[in-house]
Structure 1
Amino acid sequence: MTALAKKVGGPVALLVTTLGAGYVIGRTTEASGKRGVDVLKNVVKKRNAPCELKDTVFTVRTDGTDGQGLEFKAGAEYRVLDCSDDAILIELIGDDDNPHVVFHAFLATISDFPAAPAGDEH
């Protein structure tokens, strides 16, 4: 510590340098931390946002089969039970084998489901 104090011009200069560097590092860390907390809050808020399409009933316009083999027939209806990003939990009305998870992009191609991702509907 003595050698370091001599290099910067004495103990007072070492104290001032240490305090100045500590202040700059502390403020930089604080600003980064605040920005990180704000980003994290926004992510959590978006993740916990309610599905605005919940309980909405949509009509199938054209026959189609999703990637998991679930068949949709023109004229059939389904109700949105929940949504998370691009995955939509639906109930096929009149089908005993419910619920089903279907991608929003597929639903938009076969029905009157909105083309925008469900996560953007919040």
Structure 2
Amino acid sequence: MGNLGGYQDITKLIKAIGGPAAAVKYAAGAASIIFIAGGAAYAGGQKAIKAIKHRIQTRAVPCIWVGQVFTVNSDAGAGAGLMLQNGDEVRILECDGDTLLVEVIGNADNPYAISGELLQSISDFPGGVDTA
């Protein structure tokens, strides 16, 4: 099976747009547009990465409770289907303001985001310090 059909299609296209000189101009224009758009996307991506790195490196106060485990002393619903019961142990994974990302030890559906105020009211979590 030959490839003559493809060459015939290309020849027809070049003839339709005004010949080889016009085809080269169109190809050069398309390549320059792709080059400019790619450069802009690259520069934008670099700027975004730099901003994210800066945000991570300049975090005001590190979360002092990361890795600590607290024991729940009264039953409570914490939202998102999470029911904390007396005796549950909760490990702090991350915090941002009053929101805590926690692991309920022994629960297969971890992690959960809960309020620091709620955790303080139902466990031995001390709270009272800005977590972000």
TM-score normalised by the chain length of structure 1: 0.56
> Which residue in the other structure is 2:106 paired with?
94
**Runs (5+) with no aligned partner, structure 2:** 1-55
* 1:103 paired to 2:111: no
Q: Distance in 1 between matches of 2:98 and 2:57?
A: 17
* 1:56 paired to 2:75: no
Pairs aligned (count): 78
Per-residue deviation, residues 74-121 of structure 1 (Å, max 9, x unmatched): 00101000000010000000000000000000001110111314xx25
Runs of 4+ in 1 over 3 A off after TM superposition: 44-48
Task: Give 1:73 deviation, angstroms.
Answer: 0.5
SS of the residue corresponding to residue 66 of structure 1 reads: strand
- State the structure with more CA Rg: 2
Identity %: 40
Q: Distance in 1 between matches of 2:73 and 2:58?
A: 31
**Runs (5+) with no aligned partner, structure 1:** 1-43
Task: Give 1:47 deviation, angstroms.
Answer: 3.7
Whether contact under 8 Å (2:97, 2:131) holds in the other structure is: no
SS of the residue corresponding to residue 107 of structure 1 reads: helix
